[in-house]
Each structure stands twice: as C-alpha cells, then as structure tokens.
Amino acid sequence: MNLSRCPVCHSRLHLDALVQDESGRDLLALLAKLDRSAGAALVSYLSLFRSKQRDLANDRALRIANEALALAPLNILVPALVQTVEQLRSKQQAGDFKPLSNHRYLTRVLEGYGHSQAQPEGDILQLPSDMQTENVTRAGRRSAVSAAVMDIKDTDW
C-alpha cells in the first residue's frame, strides 16, 4: 500500500514496508500515540543520535525514544527536547558536533527546568492489558500496533 512520497527524496513510502520490522512497528506506534509537538520533538531528538555515515537502526531508535520518554513528564520533556535540538543544531552548523551516545545533555537541560528523573505521564498510552503479556501472538501484537497507528491522536488531516 503506497502511503505517499517522501518529502525529501520523493521516493514512494510503502506503509506495509514500514511495519515489517518489529522495532519499526513499535516505534511508529509509539510516535502515533504522541501529540504532534511531542512526536516532532522526539523525532528531532532521535536524529541527534544518527551519524553522517549511517542511519539510526529502528531498535536503537526505539530504545532511545523509550529512555527519553522515561526521563520526565511530557509537559516538561517536550520543551527540553526542543531546546536540546536547537542548541545542538547550532553546534552542528558551527562544525562542532558529534552524534549523541547518551541522554546526559538532555538530562542537563531538564535540570535547568528544575526537574530530575521522574515517571512519564501525559499522552503516552499503555498497551491494552491483554497485550502486555509475553505469550501474545505476533498477529495479536500486529493488530494492536495497526489499531494504534490508525488512532493517531490530534492529527489535523
């Protein structure tokens, strides 16, 4: 199923290809559950972990996203993500930037907001209780992810 064209390279995006990889599916579902500003800030933050030579693997992107979301409530995390991206993009333009390998920079920005480690809250939805067990079939997980992708919150079509 053709989704659209990439706004950068104009190649076709195939929705079924995006969800073939389990980590890619989980990352897409995670982003779909966030509101627009939180999703955009998180994707921009994830790009800071990518080197010039390689793409960021879906499993690593998913791990980084979950770690970042665990640092603070969304109402505090989103402005901190935006500030982190803006500051590091200016360093990148000056030529003084290496891809991030941890969340220390974001943690420092969060400390500036007067926040330390906390539990996530806000727009991130939990999987249904029947999907949280280890023995859920692959088809069951796939249908939960598909339902989550189709239930995109606060999307202005």
Q: How confident is the model at residue 130 (pLDDT cuts 50, 70, 90)?
A: low
Average pLDDT, the chain: 79
Side-chain half-sphere CA neighbours of 57 within 13 A: 4
Give the global pTM. Answer: 0.68
- pLDDT above 90 (res 80): yes
- Which amino acid is residue 10, in one-letter code? H
SS3 (DSSP) at 107: helix
**Residue 94 vs residues 48, 50, 88, 101, 132: alpha-carbon distances, Å:** 15, 17, 10, 20, 45
